[in-house]
Amino acid sequence: MKQEQTEPSGKSISGGINYPVPAREQRGTLGNMVFATEKLLLARILRAIGNPPVQLVLWNGHGISNHGGDAVARVLIRDRGALLKLVTNPELYFGELYTAQRIEVQGNLLDFLEAVYRVWLLRNQGKIGKKLLAPFYDARRNSLSGARRNIHHHYDIGNDFYKLWLDERMLYTCAYFTSSSTSLEDAQLAKLDHICRKLCLRPGEKVVEAGCGWGALALHMARHYGVTVTAYNISKEQVAFARQRAHAEGLDGQVEFIEDDYRNVRGEFDAFVSIGMLEHVGRENYPELGRVAKRALTAEGRGLIHSIGRNRPEPFHAWIEQRVFPGAYPPSLGEMMQIFEPSSLSVLDVENIRLHYALTLRDWLQRYEAALESVRAMRYDEPFVRMWRLYLAGSIAAFETGALQLFQVLFTKQENNSIPLTREFMYPR
């Protein structure tokens, strides 16, 4: 998915630094001082983001370059306010300013983001990130009401918007690509089956789903695995959509969608499944999630939690946490264990499929870019369009560079000996 953008002037970024370098002799003393100060600020920004191979250029054509002709992209800073904001907090304000069109990335946006991620990860694995992000750590608590507010922010912006670029089943979580050429539709279908197989679903069993999105997994389990499903979600729009679908597909007797928090799950089930909800649960609530799952499971019940994660404890990128997913957090595997260990749940299987999320996001970004006319024809303005582009492209970069992981964790109660000896059942031929 290439997003070639050329500068309005038509200049190419390849082949060396080609911004006009103002000759010193043409300037007065004041001009020279301003120029020197600007260069210092640009150098400071470059340093703060780990000296990636990029060019930074100002509205007036001044600029600096880190790697000369090898720069993967040129970042055009359009005004002095933007420059100053970038100096104070590049991680947060890059997204803000890009969204507001006060920064342009000339060249391939994705290459640029991956280059930035790579140096950021190399620079002592996230120390910079931690420091820059410190002010935002004290995220928005996911209390029962806080969770509703946070979820509403992202998931209730309009089903029609998501329909434009998600797969036909409306799955907004990592797909499962049996090969890198699998289509998104097939990969999402394969994901559903991969999860159902891991859960060893048998006809007639009862499943509870915590955080069910637009209901695709619940409906798939009911239709293809003969189970009854109780699915929880606190996104009003998603639940309304899922109920309509269940009715249209004649599955409303078999699948119940409940607009409520996972903490209010009641009853006993043969399987507990939660796909892409943990990111919104909040670390302080992990032990409670484990207790909820344990309480919900029968003696032979199986549980699966699927979540974005990290190699080590570290919050989401500040801009993502502020503007895209308020209150969200990608746990390390060690942090995830705070779900299972306090309840002595047995972790049977962990699969990390981060590269599948990069592939999923590449498809989403491609479809999103292809649907831009429709996005604009709806009520969405240019900053919205750019925010979503940056979020999707940045996420690809994060999964491809290993800054983010995707964990699927299969678990049971401690004394459950009923799981097959080997994992071959997950890979039928």
Q: Which residues bind its own copies (CB under 8 A)?
A: 118, 121, 125-126, 176-180, 311-313, 332-334, 337-338, 340-342, 344-356, 400-403, 405, 413-417, 419, 421-424, 426-427, 429
Distance, in Å, from the CA atom of 230 to the CA atom of 34, rounded to the nearest integer, reads: 64
Minimum CB separation from its own copies for residue 334, in Å? 3
Taking the complex as a whole, the smallest distance from the CB of residue 119 to its own copies amounts, in Å, to 11
Q: 426: which strand partners?
A: none
The pair of three-digit structure tokens given for residue 153, joined into one six-digit string: 């922010």
Residues 10 and 247: their CA atoms lie apart, in Å, by 54
Q: How many helices (H) and strands (E) does the chain have?
A: 16, 11
Phi then psi for 394, rounded to 5 degrees?
A: -65, -35
Strand partners, 76: 57, 104
Contact 368, 361 (CB under 8 A): no
Minimum Å gap between C-beta 6 and its own copies is 29
Nearer to its own copies, 323 or 356 (CB): 356
Cβ closer to its own copies: 137 or 425? Answer: 425
Specify burial of residue 168 (Cβ count, 10 A radius: 0-12, 13-18, 19+): exposed
**Which residue, 98 or 177, has its beta carbon nearer to its own copies?**
177
Shortest Cβ distance from residue 393 to its own copies (Å)? 17
| Nearest of 396, 398, 299, 290 to residue 339 by alpha carbon | 290
Give the span between the Cα atoms of 232 and 220, in whole angstroms.
Answer: 16
Supply the minimum distance, in Å, between the C-beta of residue 348 and its own copies: 5
Can you tell me the distance from the alpha carbon of 404 to that of 114, in angstroms, rounded to the nearest whole number?
12
Nearer to its own copies, 87 or 347 (CB): 347
| In the complex, minimum distance from the CB of residue 399 to its own copies, in angstroms, rounded to a whole number | 10
Packing angle, helices 236-248 and 144-155, rounded to 10: 70
The minimum distance between CB 290 and its own copies, in angstroms, equals 11
Identify the bridge partners of residue 258 per DSSP, sorted by sequence position: 232
- To its own copies, the closest distance from the beta carbon of 409 in angstroms equals 8
| Closest distance of CB 217 from its own copies, Å | 19
Q: What is the DSSP string of 230-274?
A: EEEE--HHHHHHHHHHHHHTT-TTTEEEEES-GGG--S-EEEEEE
Beta-strand ranges (E) seen in 276-377 are 297-309, 346-352
90 or 126: CB nearest its own copies? 126
Q: With respect to its own copies, which residue has the nearer C-beta, 30 or 427?
A: 427
Tokens of 145: 């009401």
Nearer to its own copies, 121 or 222 (CB): 121
Task: For the CB of residue 216, give the shortest distance to its own copies in the complex, in Å.
Answer: 21
- Please give the DSSP secondary-structure letter assigned to residue 56: E
DSSP single-letter state for residue 327:
T
Task: Give the residue with the Cβ less far from its own copies, 123 or 386.
Answer: 123
CB 114 within 8 A of CB 397: yes
Q: With respect to its own copies, which residue has the nearer C-beta, 100 or 347? A: 347
Nearer to its own copies, 62 or 191 (CB): 191
Structure tokens at 205: 């069993």
